[in-house]
Amino acid sequence: MSDPIPFFDLYAQDFLRVAVAIPVVALAQPQENARRTLALMQQAVQQDALLVVFPELGLTGYSCDDLFHQTALLDAAQQALQELLKASHDLPVLALVGLPWRHRGHLFNVAALIGGGKVHGLVPKSFLPNYREFYEARQFTPALTMQTEWIRWGDSTLPFGPRLLFELDAQPLATLAVEICEDLWVPIPPSSLAALAGATLLLNSSASNASLGKADYRRQLVANQSARCLAAYLYSAAGMGESTTDLAWDGHGLIADYGQIVSESTRYQTHEQLLIADIDLARLEQERMRQNTFSHAVQQQSHDIATFTRIPIVLPLPPSRARPLYHPPARFPYVPALSTQRQQRCAEVFQIQVQGLHARLLATGLKTLIIGVSGGLDSTLALLVACAVVDQLGWPRQSVRAYTMPGFATGHQSQKLAEKLMKAMGVHAEVIDIRPSCLQMLADIHHPYVSGEPCYDITFENVQAGERTSHLFRLANHQGGLVVGTSDLSELALGWSTYGVGDHMAHYHVNAGVPKTLVQHLLRWAQSAPELAADIAPLLDEVLNLEISPELVPDQGKGIQRSEATVGPYPLQDFFLYHTLRFGFSPQRLAFMAWCAWSRRDDEREPAYSYAALRHWLEQFMRRFFQNSQFKRSCFANSPKIGSGGSLSPRGDWRAPSDSVAQVWLEAVHRLPLNAPGDHG
């Protein structure tokens, strides 16, 4: 790719930058409100936003009450709209602004979508609240049953009606639909049908006064509607300047993208606010494609969907330049950033693991669990799960029979740590040296190692892995037990397991739905769970600080064998895995998102990666995931699914041919720019 700049532009990657504005309202002063609206539109343009949503009736103020029946105010509102159109003619942004509108002898509460010096459409409010503090039916007419009309306004002919869809010519994935305040609060909001008709961005101009508990309910409404509709939801509510005769106003703005609140205003501010967020249109498209029930609902509502009028809007995207995401993607998508959420997530993940193994143990009728313990992350977590299961059953910890099996490259530190863990957990513990049986196997197959040659090939490695597995399964036969597998989701994704041996084969796996980055946090969480073992916390620190290594090849002066030197940094590979498995993103998309997330260091304790390193490890991920590993996953033992990030069970989330190749993914990687803007080779 000769010009890398377009690649590093969020708009080229099917993101859309949007804004929600919370102005300070000048009550019953349309010209002043138009001036303030223009200023916020200009700010949105400076932030590269293509769309900005303003509050309900923002050109007049929502709380004018019977002033809405005064001709002077109505005329002034339309005049203010005219002036706003003229002043914003050259601004490359769409704005949704509210005002009262007379039509056929009725007065409507309307949201006007404007841009490029013209009104693209007028959407009247469908549901008018007339309960408690609301008396909108006193001033306005509801538009619920209206059909789309084309009305004259000056020299323009405008679409007018509640069922309008605005389609952006420059971004086919962006289709806008509008509803106003109360429309969201009814059992079936108009935006639900609009989403089925193709809307991906749902816009709400609202007033919504403040009262105790209302903000939490708004968040739930906005987030849930965004999730159910597989859409983005932009919500702007009235703030400072509205009448406080009987009410207060908190200026609550929200932007949700597929169920997650990605930007929120600070309530009760005395100054204007502008929220910015980048909407992931490609993810919304993927979700709608994957969720076949969404398509079923579209078919069920086909008659109503046909009543929508589609309005094309020609608005160019901002000039191409290196434009990273306003809020970079989470570096650890499997791990919540907030401590309280992380603790809750870890507790539930652990319970899923425990419940799965508990049920399987009962189903088999066996009374013993067999597990290999290396002192590493995965086997430590599996040991904790096994102990929690026998505790639930009221069985003695000795029902867990744990074995550490040193081989040719087992480190002294890891072996001693495994022994200390088994002792601290109170399980039946044994050490079985597998080197004699490995030497016998190597001799039987005439391997050079037995002749004194330092040949540390894949056969040398897998003989050790195979001997450990053989011992565990024969111990299970001998003890009447069930072999607990330890391999995690990241290792499965990268094919970092030996076919048919311990990190691949077991009677039941407990970690197979847990990525490596989450395994680490589960162990940190376990340090605060004294019911697992009173004195295990210091040992878990040792486990977490231990280098991740298969310990199959002796140190030859190059240092310990490091897993991440071969398969890549697990935080990066888990990032690629999540977005590949969950959303099916292309390598181009993954490279851009990784560049946004990982190319800068906001915290000295966190790593940062050059774009070249990101590109290199992305290529390794694509090769290992799509070409080298599926045959192992296709015959993987049972394991419970953990999260919405997906599993790799051939019976569940991921079904793929074992003999496919990674050509199209690797070719996509090879077409990526070699350097990012600002790189120096």
> Is residue 461 annotated as part of the catalytic site, yes or no?
no
Residue 529 has pLDDT above 60, yes or no: yes
Exposed/middle/buried for residue 494 (C-beta within 10 Å: 0-12, 13-18, 19+):
buried
For the chain, give the mean pLDDT.
94
Query: Does domain 16-313 correspond to CATH entry 3.60.110.10?
Result: yes
Residue 428 has pLDDT above 80, yes or no: yes
Q: Which residue has the tokens 């969480």?
A: 525
Mean pLDDT of 226-246: 96
Residue 501 has pLDDT above 90, yes or no: no
Which homologous superfamily does the CATH classification assign to the domain defined by 339-670?
A: HUPs (3.40.50.620)
Catalytic residue among 64, 125, 467, 596: 125
Residue 680 has pLDDT above 50, yes or no: no
Mean pLDDT of 249-253: 95
Report the pLDDT value the prediction gives residue 451, as an integer from 0 to 100. Answer: 93
Report the pLDDT value the prediction gives residue 285, as an integer from 0 to 100. Answer: 96
For 635-664, write each residue's pLDDT tens digit: 889 999 998 878 898 888 898 999 989 999
For 371-418, write each residue's pLDDT tens digit: 999 999 999 999 999 999 999 999 999 999 999 999 999 999 999 999
Are 274 and 166 contacting, i.e. CB atoms less than 8 angstroms apart?
A: no
302, 303, 305, 307: CA torsion to nearest 10 = 160
For 163-186, write each residue's pLDDT tens digit: 999 999 999 999 999 999 999 999
Report the pLDDT value the prediction gives residue 186, as an integer from 0 to 100. Answer: 96
Q: Which residue has the tokens 């606010």?
A: 273
For 342-381, write each residue's pLDDT tens digit: 999 999 999 999 999 999 999 999 999 999 999 999 999 9
Q: What is the DSSP string of 410-478?
A: --HHHHHHHHHHHHHHT-EEEE---HHHHHHHHHHTT-GGGGT-----HHHHHHHHHHHHHHHHHHHHH
> Is residue 181 annotated as part of the catalytic site, yes or no?
yes
Backbone angles phi, psi at 594, to 5 degrees: -65, -40
Greater model confidence, 56 or 634: 56
Report the pLDDT value the prediction gives residue 175, as an integer from 0 to 100. Answer: 98
The reply to whether domains 16-313 and 339-670 share a CATH topology is: no
Exposed/middle/buried for residue 479 (C-beta within 10 Å: 0-12, 13-18, 19+):
middle
Report the pLDDT value the prediction gives residue 681, as an integer from 0 to 100. Answer: 38
Q: Which percentage of the chain shows pLDDT scores above 70? A: 97
Contacts of 424 (CB under 8 A, 6+ apart): 533, 535, 536, 539
Q: What is the DSSP string of 223-255?
A: HHHHHHTTSEEEEE---TTS--SS-B-----EE
> Is residue 56 annotated as part of the catalytic site, yes or no?
yes
Segments making up each domain of the chain, as ranges: 16-313, 339-670
C-alpha atoms less than 13 angstroms from C-alpha of 322 in its C-beta half-sphere: 11
E-assigned strands of 594-679?
none
Report the pLDDT value the prediction gives residue 533, as an integer from 0 to 100. Answer: 63
Catalytic residue among 64, 179, 181, 229: 181
For 84-106, write each residue's pLDDT tens digit: 999 999 999 999 999 999 999 99
* Cα distances (angstroms) measured from residue 457 to each of 449, 451, 500, 624: 10, 14, 18, 19
Report the pLDDT value the prediction gives residue 1, as an integer from 0 to 100. Answer: 44
Are 518 and 372 contacting, i.e. CB atoms less than 8 angstroms apart?
A: no
Report the pLDDT value the prediction gives residue 133, as an integer from 0 to 100. Answer: 85
Residue 5 has pLDDT above 80, yes or no: no
Greater model confidence, 560 or 190: 190
Residue 532 has pLDDT above 80, yes or no: no
For 487, the 3-state DSSP assignment is: coil
Q: How confident is the model at residue 563 (pLDDT cuts 50, 70, 90)?
A: very high
For 294-341, write each residue's pLDDT tens digit: 999 999 999 999 999 999 999 999 999 999 999 999 999 999 999 999
For 283-293, write each residue's pLDDT tens digit: 999 999 999 99
Report the pLDDT value the prediction gives residue 628, as an integer from 0 to 100. Answer: 80
Report the pLDDT value the prediction gives residue 3, as an integer from 0 to 100. Answer: 59
Q: Which helix (H) or strand (E) holds 264?
A: strand 260-264
Are 250 and 237 contacting, i.e. CB atoms less than 8 angstroms apart?
A: yes
Are 124 and 96 contacting, i.e. CB atoms less than 8 angstroms apart?
A: no
Mean pLDDT of 194-207: 98
Distance in angstroms (rounded) separating the CA atoms of residues 101 and 118: 16
